[in-house]
Structure 1
């Protein structure tokens, strides 16, 4: 199990270390050369979001982790839009949104599996929480310890929250 986890972390860190911004830009150039308006429009929209975040960042350019977070949010928005289009019987538009999700997902590293999240949360809980401690106060300590070990772009924050709450209930 430990070897498997090390392989996952090694794969994820090598993925994060590659310059996601450069990959997006390169793919945009290829799409423009191939006159692929679908891909170029999708990639331009995400690159525009990244550039807007760059302007708001005091360091001028945001890091790979923030870029991955922006892409994850963009895919989530498109998934939500696809669901709304299906409800409205606009299957053509839903399909377009799904294709955009597929394109953007190719730039994302895989999320940590639930079992690894649980293991890391348990470690944080063992280190940070004393028996009988206020669960609200304990959860803050757990999140801080967890996210000091794990990049936020590599996990689903809703899943982390649900798992932490479940583990805290079982810990009391």
Structure 2
């Protein structure tokens, strides 16, 4: 598996750009986010190539996503996300009834405890909505 130099250069340019924005150097969480997004883009591209009946290009994208993913720390499990979300929900005053406002507060509190680069944000959103629905019934 050889990572295409063009893709590697695009990832490095994103890291360099992040480095320029937050001197003296980009925090590791920013670099992890960049790598996660790069891997996700390749997985999405692979899915599109499969739909277009181009398995050769899909394989290439999947291989690159696997290489990039090898450099990433694991994301938190759903159980760990649930545990933190339950803790956050317990901190909310019971008088708040606007679920949209509460959802924003839940996310803000959750991400103050957990680095965004260490979770699948879609999983956090799904679990928060499920727990808030379950909590309000």
How high is the TM-score relative to the length of structure 2? 0.90
Query: Aligned-pair RMSD on alpha carbons?
Result: 1.7
Classify 1:159/1:129 alpha carbon distance in 2 versus 1 (closer, same or farther; 3 Å). Answer: farther
Contact 1:129 / 1:141 at 8 angstroms: preserved in 2? no
Report the CA distance between 1:131 and its aligned residue. Answer: 4.7
Report the CA distance between 1:148 and its aligned residue. Answer: 1.1
- Structure 2 counterparts to residues 76-91 of structure 1, below 5 A: 76-91=40-55
SS at structure 2 position matched to 1:62: coil
Report the CA distance between 1:39 and its aligned residue. Answer: 2.7
5+ residue gaps in structure 2?
A: none
Q: Which residue of 2 aligns with 1:100?
A: 64
For residues 95 and 68 of structure 2, the distance between their equivalents in structure 1, rounded to whole angstroms, comes to 44
For residues 162 and 60 of structure 1, the distance between their equivalents in structure 2, rounded to whole angstroms, comes to 36
- Structure 2 counterparts to residues 62-141 of structure 1, below 5 A: 62-131=26-95, 133-141=97-105
Which residue of the other structure, out of 2, 7, 10, is the alignment partner of 1:45?
10
How high is the TM-score relative to the length of structure 1? 0.73
SS at structure 1 position matched to 2:94: coil
SS at structure 1 position matched to 2:8: helix
SS at structure 2 position matched to 1:39: coil
Q: How many residues align?
A: 135
Classify 1:75/1:93 alpha carbon distance in 2 versus 1 (closer, same or farther; 3 Å). Answer: same
Q: Which has the higher contact order (CA 8 A, sep 6+)?
A: 2
